[in-house]
Amino acid sequence: MSFDPARAAFTVRPATVADLPSLAHHRAAMFRDMGKLAQAQEQSLQRATASYLRDALPRGEYVAWVAEDHAAPAAVIGGAGVQIRPILPRPVPGSERLELGPEAIVLNVYVEPEWRRRGVAETLMRVLLDAVAERGIRRVVLHASDDGRRLYERLGFVQTNEMRLGPR
């Protein structure tokens, strides 16, 4: 059975500065749910996230969408965003073309637990991917959680050779 957005109990819209509390909550909850954030750190991460987004959203450096349920009053039940960043030109593997940027890094894909497995994350990601394509952004990257990996692979994401420097 495929998901039909027209019959969904939620809608997706662009996030605004008014959504900062929800976006900051989603970021902290995402890390908490992955076991990477201690409860004592949640409030400080939310404050730091809201502070960053307060400037990044209006500048267009960070673009986000939220899903709202159709209940009255509507509540934010999920969100997803991209950080738009310049990249150095690089060759496109298997091509004579160059990739000139910018790059979109997908961040903060989060759905409230009671709304999971109902098409919210997939709808958010499809809206996000359409929006970056409309901007002409071809390079889209993300770091997948174990729970999100199947969705991202279904949407066409593939694993790469990225590595990260560990703590020193």
What domains are defined for the chain?
5-154 (3.40.630.30)
> What percent of the chain stands above pLDDT 90?
81
pLDDT score, position 126:
98
Output the pTM of the full model: 0.90
Q: Taking 50 as the threshold, does the pLDDT of residue 61 lie above it?
A: yes
Asked if residue 7 has pLDDT above 80, the reply is no
Residue 163: per-residue pLDDT = 83
Q: What is the pLDDT of residue 1?
A: 40
Query: What are the residues whose beta carbons fall under 8 Å from the beta carbon of 114, sequence distance 6 or more?
Result: none
pLDDT at 3 over 60: no
Cα 34–chain centre separation: 15
pLDDT digits (tens, 9 = 90+) for 131-161: 999 999 989 999 999 999 999 999 999 998 8
Q: How many CA atoms lie within 13 A of 111 on its CB side?
A: 19
User: Residue 162 — pLDDT band, cuts 50, 70, 90?
Assistant: confident
> Among 20-29, 36-45, 154-163, whose mean pLDDT is lowest?
154-163
CB 124 within 8 A of CB 12: yes
Computed over every residue of the chain, the mean pLDDT equals: 93
Model pLDDT for residues 81-131, shown as the tens digit of each residue: 999 999 999 998 899 999 898 999 999 999 999 999 999 999 999 999 999
Kindly report whether the peptide bond that precedes residue 93 is cis, defined as omega within 30 degrees of 0.
no
Mean pLDDT, residues 66-83: 94
Mean local confidence (pLDDT), 42-69: 97
Q: Helices 42-59 and 20-33, interaxial angle, to 10°?
A: 130
Rounded to an integer, what distance in angstroms lies between the CA atom of residue 117 and that of residue 114? Answer: 9
